[in-house]
Amino acid sequence: MRTQFSNTPLFFCFLFCFLTLPAITPSLVEADNSGKIALVMKSLSNPFFSKMEEGARQYAVASNIPLEVFGVDRETDVDMQIAIVEDLISRGYGGLVIAPADSKKLVPVCAKAVSKGMKVINIDNPFHAPYLEKLGLTIPFVGSDNRVGAAMVADYLKRSLNGKGKVIVLEGIRGVENSELRKTGFVETITKDSAIKIVASESANWHSDEAFSLTSRLLAEHPDIDAIFCANDSMALGALQALETAGLNGKVLIGAYDNIEEVRNNIRSGQIHATVEQHPELMGRYGVQLAREAMQGKEVALKHATPLDLITHDTFGRKVVLLISNLKNPFFTLLVQGSRDAAELFGFELQVYDAADDDARQLNDLIAALTDKTAVLLLNPANSDSIVPGIEMANSKAVPVITVDRKSSGGIVTTHIASDNVAGGIMAAKAMAGYLANRGKIIEFEGIPGTSAAHDRGKGFNQAIAAHKDVEISKRIIANFDRKTARDNMQQLLSDNIPFDAVFAHNDNMILGVLDVLAETGYAKPVITIGFDALPEAIEAVKEGRLSATVAQQPEKIGWIGGREAARLMRGESLPAETLIGLKLIHSSKQ
């Protein structure tokens, strides 16, 4: 239940419990709450903290963690937040996840909580580091870099103003760490190497009503301003209302921070121009996760960073086309979902075309997309060679192309986002040699010829295996990343009595096809099997000991970053030539 603290005495509640449960002792009361985690936030009415609560609750439910949520009416109500923590200490809660209303004033009560054995995790607004050091206190922090986030807005407004103009800053609560960091990050960045001047910087204490009054006064003093930076979205809404009242709506740029839905609506209409998403749902999730780990006696890192994303009106309502090679492959289903998540965050329309591994069909889809006001093409080539004429046509129409997972062999591509497939192949080979004790015969199931993924995975695997003279790749079979094709080929191998000790497949679909056949035929000899992609079914097979290992890619992350980079292109930003996503080996303990 979502709880709001009140000053109602708890005496009658305790008296009732004492009278009706005669065996209760203080230690039993403590035991009842020692496994619970409390999330203590600032304003329960702020949508930012609603998202934080949602992330915390989702993780708690999925992990079977008892969680209770507390908050105050206004973010300035520091005394009430202190009272909440005092109450939690007295009731013996095991963990406290807190987004403090003040970076200094909440430190003593949190120090008291730690001294009573409570595991405390600080999220969102960091405690004042010198004060923690003075008290000899270390409290893990989960959150984003507020200075960097504000600098992102400053960079955007600086470009929009062509490096000159007058700006007002609406600060949060002075002395609060995240407020000070946002102010510093914004002012330093927007004034550096520019003719932009900060004509006023005052606090509206995070509140919309105070921001309206303050902005109205500052507009009277500075009627010729060009932009307003608000250290949170609530204040941006108040500033917008003041601009509307003054008849300046649409004439002054507004930068904000938090990405709440009401501000997104105003970004969509072009009334607010930028905000920062700092993913409070992840702060809530990671806060609860780390509190539980600390309660279990595990070591917890002192800093856990959450990501930042700049959201601007440039991307809202624009069209991005994603050309995918084959949606029947679960890997690409996950990649598409990542791109859809990015589209939702950045406000662009995503249209997906499935080539079903048909080169000609994908080329036709690309040509069709170029006639339909497409801002950016996201491309996962069905074939790295045959798609080149389409990329060249996009180049001629000045439509930027981003490739995801697979490269093209020609044309101008703005950026490529993928796993390091060569490194993944090497990772699989080293694991394979280890499982085989450096002796044995391997069958390699290859992906679609002409795709960069098949080429690079095979290249890394074969290069690394060649270092082991008694490990031999006895047969290579092209199975086109397809489970049924791999099944058919594996059945034929068994029929032909081809000797082998291990199988490596360029993706999990193919290795799952191999496992299907081994299970159906009751093949008795132990076989080392390694796949690539870490699909959910493959991970389950690893847990069960049926699959030796799989190389874990992050298809959703590849798709999401593709969408994020498309948004950056629509803002006119420069991109790196390539972004490689890290890999890891998921292996079975039963091998």
Is the Cα dihedral 155, 161, 165, 166 positive or negative? negative
Output the average pLDDT for the chain: 92
- Name residue 188's amino acid: E
The mean per-residue pLDDT over the stretch 327-347 comes to 96
Write down the CATH number for the domain with range 146-277.
3.40.50.2300
pLDDT at 131: 94
> What does the domain layout of the chain look like in residue ranges?
11-143, 146-277, 319-414+570-576, 421-555
Distance CA 573, CA 53 (A): 33
pLDDT tens sequence across 48-103? 999 999 999 999 999 999 999 999 988 889 999 999 999 999 999 999 999 999 99
Give whole-number Cα distances, 54 to 39, 50, 93, 283, 517, in Å: 11, 6, 21, 10, 44
The model's pLDDT over 412-454, given as tens digits with 9 standing for 90+, comes to 999 999 999 999 999 999 999 999 999 999 999 999 998 989 9
Give residue-wise pLDDT tens across range 12-23.
Answer: 433 334 333 333
Homologous superfamily in CATH for domain 11-143: Response regulator (3.40.50.2300)
- The class of domain 319-414+570-576 in CATH terms is alpha beta
Mean pLDDT on 136-148: 96
Residue 397: Cβ-neighbour burial (10 angstroms; 0-12, 13-18, 19+): exposed
Say how far apart CA 235 and CA 10 lie, in whole Å: 36
Tens of pLDDT, residue by residue over 248-262, are: 988 999 999 999 999
Comparing CA positions, the residue from 549, 578, 591, 581 lying closest to residue 427 is: 549
CA atoms within 13 A on the CB side of 3: 14
What are the angstrom distances between the C-alpha of 23 and each of 91, 97, 221? 17, 31, 69
| pLDDT (0 to 100) of residue 371 | 86
Residues 367-395 have pLDDT tens digits of 999 988 999 999 999 999 999 999 999 99
Residues 236-255, mean pLDDT to the nearest whole number: 96
DSSP SS3 for 588: coil
Q: What is the pLDDT of residue 3?
A: 45
pLDDT at 304 over 60: yes
What is the mean predicted confidence (pLDDT) over 465-481? 96
3-state helix/strand/coil string of 343-406: HHHHCCEEEEEECCCCHHHHHHHHHHHHCCCCCEEEECCCCCCCCHHHHHHHHHCCCCEEEECC
Any idea of the CA torsion for 38, 40, 44, 49, to the nearest 10 degrees?
Answer: -100
Q: What residues have CB less than 8 Å from 44, skipping those under 6 apart? A: 2, 4, 50, 71, 72, 73
Is domain 421-555 in CATH 3.40.50.720, yes or no? Answer: no
Q: What is the pTM assigned to this prediction? A: 0.81
Q: pLDDT tens, 407-419?
A: 999 999 999 999 9
> What pLDDT does 31 receive?
53
Identical topology for domains 11-143 and 146-277? yes
What's the pLDDT score for residue 249?
86
Q: Which of 583, 501, 490 is nearest to 548 (CA)?
A: 501
